[in-house]
Amino acid sequence: MPTTPASRGPSSGRAAVPGARASTPDGRARVSGAKAQTGSAAPGVYGRPAGAPPNRPGRTPGNGGEYSGRKKVRPRWGRIALVAGCGVLLLALLAGIGGVIYYKYVDSGLNRDDPFSQITEGRPPKVADGALNILLLGSDSRDPDNKGKAGEWRTDTMIMLHIPADHKHAYLISMPRDLYVHIPKSKTTQYGNTKAKLNASFSWGGTPLTVQTIEEYTKVRMDHVLLIDFGGFKQVIDALGGIDMNIEKDITSIHPPKRQFKKGMNHLNGDEALDYARQRYQFPDSDFARMRHQQEMMKAILDKAVSSGTVSNPAKLNAFLKAVTKAITVDKDFSLADMALQFRNLRSDDLTFLVSPNDGSKMIGGEDVVVPNSEKATALYDAVRNDKMADWMGTANSPKPSTSPSVKASAKTK
């Protein structure tokens, strides 16, 4: 019988000062606001016990695009899919850096962990030589000394980054946090060996159990893991001087200081970009809208780093990389030097954004979960495992190829 963690206390909220709108010199709208202050947080998922999957019924798209009408509890906002932007930057943006020595200097400043050491058996084999599969995880730790440990960080961001052996493209597959999957027994805690929401794996067993769960579900072996703290990621955007994002429609943020976002192109700093990327209640497709905006944000980061000359300006690059290294934790074998040399030709136009195939939401065991489409998911992850994504993109089961970050077509591949 599956077990669940002991009950833990709720976490505190955030306070901030209301902000105002202004304009940039080029006429783009500027969203402004004071930086939100973060309170302490007790371990757990959505304020629930630190090993239990969250119980958050709410307005998530179901089959046919209908909605349950149930009111969701407001989630902790830090778990955003801003993780992939940093991962892609590490693999793609550093093309203009000169010298392996500098890469190795940056390598030495990275925080490292060994998420694979606890997975001693049952891992899928490596099938396609030369292809690379990287798991990108976004988290909101309040304790930098407990990165990736069970119950200490929470993550709503899980993205599989697949780069084919020819290194000419990259596919980023967002895996919904509420995807209902089997979670193996944790090697370090008493939890697991049950079906639950995907993000429960992180709370129950940290990075190792998350890797084990995703490898079991997809049958794809992960080569590396990048864990990124949203708090540090704000400095990454600020180091670029902000980014430009096309706001989908006029909305008011549900989080203090209740920023006003106007439809059209906006120039956003780190706080503003993260605030917009975590909004979902104002959009009919809810969590899928949030994934779409997160992907738009990572493309904007990549475009800004290239267009602003960051990768070719030593001073700008050094400030940018300092912010990156403070925000991420990588596995012990990850090397920026090797990645930059292998993937130096990738740019934002070479990215394809997808969402793990699913049939929308459904109530199971009193919880609102995202139901996998097993047939289409098997086809997708077979293509990843065998390095045949270009062929899979041409099949009827896949969305149309796109270099722009839109997940509307792929959120529910029926």
The confidence score (pLDDT) of residue 362 equals: 92
Q: Domain residues of the chain, as ranges?
A: 77-393
Predicted confidence band at 231 (pLDDT cuts at 50, 70, 90)? low
The CATH number corresponding to 77-393 among 3.40.630.190, 2.30.42.10, 3.40.50.150, 3.40.250.10 equals 3.40.630.190
The confidence score (pLDDT) of residue 398 equals: 62
Cα separation, 353 vs 5, in Å, equals 35
Please check the confidence at residue 310 and state whether its pLDDT lies above 90.
no
Q: Is the pTM of this model over 0.85?
A: no
Tokens describing residue 292: 């779409």
Cα of 220 vs its chain's centroid, Å: 18
> Which of 33-47, 84-98, 240-254, 315-329 has the least mean pLDDT?
33-47
In this prediction, residues 246-252 reach a mean pLDDT of 93
The confidence score (pLDDT) of residue 31 equals: 54
Cα separation, 381 vs 199, in Å, equals 19
Q: Which residues contact 191 (CB under 8 A, 6 or more apart)?
A: 2, 3, 4, 5, 51, 185, 204, 205
Name the more confident of 155 and 135: 135
Name the more confident of 213 and 140: 213
